[in-house]
Chains A and B, each alone.
Chain A
Amino acid sequence: MNANLQMSAEGKLKHLLTTEGLPPEILLQILDTARSFCSVTERQVKKVPLLRGKAIFNLFFEPSTRTRTTFEIAAKRLSADVVNLNIATSSQTKGETLLDTVANLTAMHADMFIVRHGESGAAHLIARNVGPDIHVINAGDGRHAHPTQALLDMFTIRHYKGGFNHLRVAIVGDILHSRVARSEIHALTTLGVPEVRVIGPRTLLPRHVQNLGVHVFHDMAAGLKDVDVVMMLRLQHERMSGALLPSAGEFFKSYGLTPEKLAHAKPDAIVMHPGPMNRGVEIDSAVADGRQSVILPQVTFGIAVRMAVMGILAGN
């Protein structure tokens, strides 16, 4: 149970489930491959035949238009056949177990599953139960991991900052519930970022978050001081009903990214957000649309990074 499920015995990537435990060489291989795919997406004919004949199944147990669409676009650019499964309306609600759904789809000759699920560990469960030639990409499992988001964010950081080992990066918001935050933290520390900060109220930071190798700040001004990269997280409205926060307004007052707060960071700091944004809750429109924001390029890079992940897995 403790063996690293993602890697084959030869050290090749079999599944992409989490950035945790991935050696820096693998992360960099994905980023370098993505860079070569960037030129593809800028061409007139945006396709390469790398995954021709392969069947990629988007298994989304949680609704998502953005992530699913980017995976679909990425798969089609690689000439793969894509099947989208919106599980909420399919046999899952008829009581079919998760693994039965996967087994049935495998019987339809799926080569790759891209899985998003509301529970942590779902992608691992599926990866443990698929045949040897099937690859699983975790598109987000509960609060646990969202590795492709972290990878595209690393790509974005490298694109604008050149490297990792001289940076201060701050992640702001609801880290407790964030699979994006956890994946970012693992990727950043693996790639050698010397200082990773998390900023948020105590109720939204996991008890033992400092054990992940981060510095904890409750004060946004102090936390953003001299930072090179600001990563904002989405705040979900459910947090108000769980006695974790009083209101979106108070959250914005202390932790919303406004031009004034951003001024504490370095003048050339970049502002990132995994999307979708809650304007006026975690981020002010002036910043989201401002000159330091790289939020839209993140989306573009996301396609190339997902092409890279799928290409590397299929080739292993």
Chain B
Amino acid sequence: MNIQIKNGRLIDPAAGTERVQDLFIAEGKIAAVGATPGGFRPDRVLDASGLAVSPGLVDLSARLREPGLEYKATLESEMQAAAAGGITSLVCPPDTDPPLDEPGLVEMLKFRARSLNQSRVYPLGALTQGLRGERLTEMAELHDAGCVAFSQPGATLTDNQVLMRSLEYATTFGFAVWLRPQDATLSRGGVAHDGEVATRLGLAGIPACAETVALSAILILVQETGARVHLCRLSSAEGVEMVRQAKRARMPVTCDVAAYHVHLSDMDIGYFDSNCNLIPPLRGPRDRDALRAGLADGTIDAICSDHTPVDEDDKQLPFAEAEPGATGLELLLPLTLKWAREARIALPAALARVTTGPLRVLGLPGAAIAVGQIADLCVFDPEAWWRVRPESLHSQGKNTPLLGMELQGRVRHALVNGQVVFDAPSSH
């Protein structure tokens, strides 16, 4: 299908540029930028006047809830939500039911996702069988089935020997390992950041050292094994600083932060808003500021949604009993734009955190607006205000701390492989 995107502000995070030009797409790729190529007849013209056109967003963590957890959300609804959020590639963690520790499960997920013809899905394979932290999974087989890396998405493995050996095994094949730095025992029983808010509200706390103790162990093992590790969802000021030092020492580590943690702190729990029950917990304002500084100076490579749809009944409970997690696919873009605005970061640099940054973490090329590049694109109105309401979300997960809030940034069209996979309803 030939598509012409007219008059859009083309944002190129790789080149760091933005310019208003037409874009021409043919056979899934960018055929031309600027002048109409000879003999090009568009099957569809998208009027992007006043809109921004960027590479499609790449979300490093989105729970699609299939297989096994379909009562929370289904592949159909969540892929629709991803497209509506301008996300053209997403990584799904292996903590499904059963976990993604068998090639057959991975193949089925990929097949299901492909048949929906929307965003690209990159599954993470389980690092250990059943995610139980004891035996290795067949990483080579899982990689062949389509896993881009291997992850233990819950708390860090309690058995350091298993952790070290899983890193060694992964490096045999050059696979990356994604770990969440959260010490299982120090976070045991905790539901909120161990700070002033938890003290006042009488909530069991998870101290920041649950993150730094785990980071310490992981970083030392990275040095021992040379493993390439991606650290998922930093939450503390001290954690950011440890990664900063590790990067200065040229260690092969990358890290990300969840979009909510860029904006919220434990103060937002208010009177026990269970939508603020997240893993890792929202920490103090000082930690949030350090995460923002880490994003600005490149210590943190990517912002992800950490999309976790939770059934309403599982949130309408006392804080500690509520299931943790927040819906995020449709909030990733507006929350990234909000950070860019507040931190006075230019749009190309800000969008790099959700395009080139994540792709670098994945070891994948792309995300430039140039001839020959695959046409995964997001056409959005950076100024459009919208109110976060259950009806305005395509995801089945309506659980967000930002319910009722107004945000700026709304996707008009999303394209994957040169095909339009999402058109915003014209009422927007």
Chain A positions 128 through 153: 1 when the CB is less than 8 Å from some CB of chain B, otherwise 0:
01000000000001111100000000
> Is A65 close to B, CB under 8 A?
no
> Is A124 close to B, CB under 8 A?
yes
> Is B317 close to A, CB under 8 A?
yes
> Is B117 close to A, CB under 8 A?
no
> Is B28 close to A, CB under 8 A?
no
> Is A296 close to B, CB under 8 A?
no
**Interface residue stretch chosen among A39-47, A49-57, A208-216:** A208-216
Decide if B320 touches A97 in the complex (CB within 8 Å): no
Query: With A1-B270, A97-B313, A207-B194 in contact, is A142–B200 under 8 Å at CB?
Result: no
Query: With A5-B271, A97-B313, A120-B272 in contact, is A125–B318 under 8 Å at CB?
Result: yes
Decide if B202 touches A117 in the complex (CB within 8 Å): no
Chain B positions 220 through 241: 1 when the CB is less than 8 Å from some CB of chain A, otherwise 0:
0000000000000000000000
In the assembly, what is the distance between CA of A119 and CA of B189, in Å? 13
Query: With A141-B318, A142-B320 in contact, is A124–B199 under 8 Å at CB?
Result: no
A14 CB, nearest partner CB in chain B, Å: 14
CB-CB < 8 A to B273: which residues of A?
A: 1
In the assembly, what is the distance between CA of A99 and CA of B315, in Å? 11
CB-CB < 8 A to B196: which residues of A?
A: 208, 211
CB-CB < 8 A to A309: which residues of B?
A: none
CB-CB < 8 A to A97: which residues of B?
A: 313, 316-317
Question: Which residues of A98-135 are within 8 A (CB) of B?
Answer: 98-99, 117, 119-122, 124-125, 129
Most central of B194, B313, B317, B318 by chain A CB within 10 Å: B318
B278 CB, nearest partner CB in chain A, Å: 15
Most central of B196, B274, B313 by chain A CB within 10 Å: B196
Decide if B199 touches A208 in the complex (CB within 8 Å): yes
Query: With A98-B318, A141-B318 in contact, is A120–B202 under 8 Å at CB?
Result: yes
> Is A68 close to B, CB under 8 A?
no
CB-CB < 8 A to A124: which residues of B?
A: 271-272
> Is B321 close to A, CB under 8 A?
yes
CB-CB < 8 A to B270: which residues of A?
A: 1-2
In the assembly, what is the distance between CA of A97 and CA of B272, in Å? 17
In the assembly, what is the distance between CA of A201 and CA of B313, in Å? 39
B190 CB, nearest partner CB in chain A, Å: 12
> Is A179 close to B, CB under 8 A?
yes
CB-CB < 8 A to A142: which residues of B?
A: 202-203, 318, 320
Chain B positions 300 through 336: 1 when the CB is less than 8 Å from some CB of chain A, otherwise 0:
0000000000000100111111000000000000000
Interface size bucket, A side? 20 to 34
In the assembly, what is the distance between CA of A125 and CA of B274, in Å? 10
In the assembly, what is the distance between CA of A293 and CA of B319, in Å? 37
In the assembly, what is the distance between CA of A211 and CA of B203, in Å? 15
Decide if A179 touches B202 in the complex (CB within 8 Å): yes
CB-CB < 8 A to B316: which residues of A?
A: 97-99, 125, 129
Question: Which residues of A236-284 are within 8 A (CB) of B?
Answer: none
In the assembly, what is the distance between CA of A183 and CA of B200, in Å? 10
Decide if B199 touches A145 in the complex (CB within 8 Å): no
CB-CB < 8 A to A179: which residues of B?
A: 202
> Is B213 close to A, CB under 8 A?
no
> Is A20 close to B, CB under 8 A?
yes
CB-CB < 8 A to B274: which residues of A?
A: 121
Decide if B201 touches A121 in the complex (CB within 8 Å): yes
> Is A206 close to B, CB under 8 A?
yes
Decide if A120 touches B203 in the complex (CB within 8 Å): yes
CB-CB < 8 A to A1: which residues of B?
A: 270-271, 273
User: Which residue of chain A has the shortest Cβ distance to B203 in the bound complex?
Assistant: A120
> Is B42 close to A, CB under 8 A?
no
> Is B123 close to A, CB under 8 A?
no
Query: With A97-B313, A125-B318, A207-B205 in contact, is A182–B272 under 8 Å at CB?
Result: no
Query: With A1-B273, A99-B316 in contact, is A120–B201 under 8 Å at CB?
Result: yes
Decide if A207 touches B195 in the complex (CB within 8 Å): yes
Inter-chain contact total with CB atoms closer than 8 Å: 75
Question: Which residues of A1-43 are within 8 A (CB) of B?
Answer: 1-2, 5, 20
Decide if B313 touches A119 in the complex (CB within 8 Å): no
Query: With A2-B271, A179-B202 in contact, is A122–B318 under 8 Å at CB?
Result: yes
In the assembly, what is the distance between CA of A129 and CA of B315, in Å? 13
User: Which residue of chain A has the shortest Cβ distance to B272 in the bound complex?
Assistant: A121
In the assembly, what is the distance between CA of A182 and CA of B198, in Å? 12
Decide if A211 touches B199 in the complex (CB within 8 Å): yes
Select which of B202, B207, B313, B317 is within 8 A of A145 by beta carbon.
B202
CB-CB < 8 A to B321: which residues of A?
A: 119
B8 CB, nearest partner CB in chain A, Å: 38
CB-CB < 8 A to A121: which residues of B?
A: 201, 203, 271-272, 274, 318-320
User: Which residue of chain A has the shortest Cβ distance to B275 in the bound complex?
Assistant: A1
Decide if A206 touches B318 in the complex (CB within 8 Å): no
B326 CB, nearest partner CB in chain A, Å: 14
In the assembly, what is the distance between CA of A144 and CA of B269, in Å? 14
Decide if B272 touches A125 in the complex (CB within 8 Å): yes
Chain B positions 173 through 203: 1 when the CB is less than 8 Å from some CB of chain A, otherwise 0:
0000000000000000000001110111111
User: Which residue of chain B has the shortest Cβ distance to A126 in the bound complex?
Assistant: B318
In the assembly, what is the distance between CA of A119 and CA of B271, in Å? 13
CB-CB < 8 A to B207: which residues of A?
A: 207
CB-CB < 8 A to A207: which residues of B?
A: 194-195, 199, 205, 207
B207 CB, nearest partner CB in chain A, Å: 8
In the assembly, what is the distance between CA of A121 and CA of B318, in Å? 5
CB-CB < 8 A to B195: which residues of A?
A: 207-208
Decide if A206 touches B272 in the complex (CB within 8 Å): no
CB-CB < 8 A to B271: which residues of A?
A: 1-2, 5, 121, 124
Query: With A2-B270, A207-B194 in contact, is A120–B320 under 8 Å at CB?
Result: yes
User: Which residue of chain A has the shortest Cβ distance to B273 in the bound complex?
Assistant: A1
CB-CB < 8 A to A143: which residues of B?
A: 202-204
B176 CB, nearest partner CB in chain A, Å: 36
Decide if B318 touches A119 in the complex (CB within 8 Å): yes
The 6 closest A-B pairs by CB, nearest first: A121-B272, A143-B202, A144-B202, A119-B318, A206-B199, A1-B270
Interface residues in chain B, defined as those with a beta carbon under 8 Å from any beta carbon in chain A = 194-196, 198-205, 207, 270-274, 313, 316-321
Beyond A120-B320, A208-B196, 6 extra complex contacts between A and B, CB < 8 Å = A20-B200, A97-B316, A120-B318, A129-B316, A142-B203, A207-B199
Name 26 interchain pairs, CB-CB below 8 A, sorted by A: A2-B271, A97-B313, A117-B318, A119-B318, A119-B319, A119-B321, A120-B201, A120-B202, A120-B272, A120-B320, A121-B271, A121-B318, A121-B319, A121-B320, A124-B272, A125-B316, A129-B316, A142-B318, A144-B201, A145-B202, A207-B195, A207-B199, A207-B205, A207-B207, A208-B195, A212-B200
